[in-house]
Amino acid sequence: MQAEYANANVWDPVHIDLAKPETWPDAKTNRYDVVFAINLFHVAPIAIAESVAQIAARVLNQTGFLAIYGPFKVDGNYTAPSNEAFDRELRAANAPEWGLKDVRDVEKAANEHGIVLAQQLALPANNFMLVFGRP
């Protein structure tokens, strides 16, 4: 993709299977400015936050950041009735492990790997951008 679109300053996406550490990038060969996870946490168990945080801690440059986009609960509360309905639908159709995660649970997983929540931005459609970095 990089060559196809002449984006010399943007690397091609890296395929990572969060359940298989052997697919995770090697921090010895590549460091990144950004790790970006989009609409992931509501379709996976909360344990996935541990993997995302661990990868980010391994491969981010000192000033790099982890950005996570999607719907979340905040301090145990839904931020909109539509998010509550979406959460119930996901859990009923898939598994109890699916559904909206709480920002604080994701924050806790990141903190365990030395990454802290720097910004919590409310975005349209009742979504958030969570931005984590090194203290």
For every one of its 135 residues, what pLDDT tens digit does the chain have, with 9 covering 90 and above? 566 777 777 777 778 888 888 888 887 888 889 999 999 999 988 889 999 999 999 999 999 999 999 999 999 999 999 999 999 999 998 888 899 999 999 999 999 999 999 999 999 999 999 999 999
- Closest C-alpha to 39, from 100, 115, 109: 100
- Closest C-alpha to 129, from 67, 55, 39, 50: 67
Q: Compute CA 124 distance to the chain's CA centroid, rounded to the nearest angstrom.
A: 18
Residues in the chain: 135
- Every domain of the chain and the residues it spans: 21-133
Q: Rounded to an integer, what distance in angstroms lies between the CA atom of residue 77 and that of residue 86?
A: 14
Homologous superfamily (CATH) for 21-133: Vaccinia Virus protein VP39 (3.40.50.150)
Structure tokens at 19: 């359940």
The amino acid that residue 129 corresponds to is M
- Residue 48: CB atoms within 10 A of its CB come to 19
Whether 59 and 31 have beta carbons less than 8 Å apart is answered as: yes
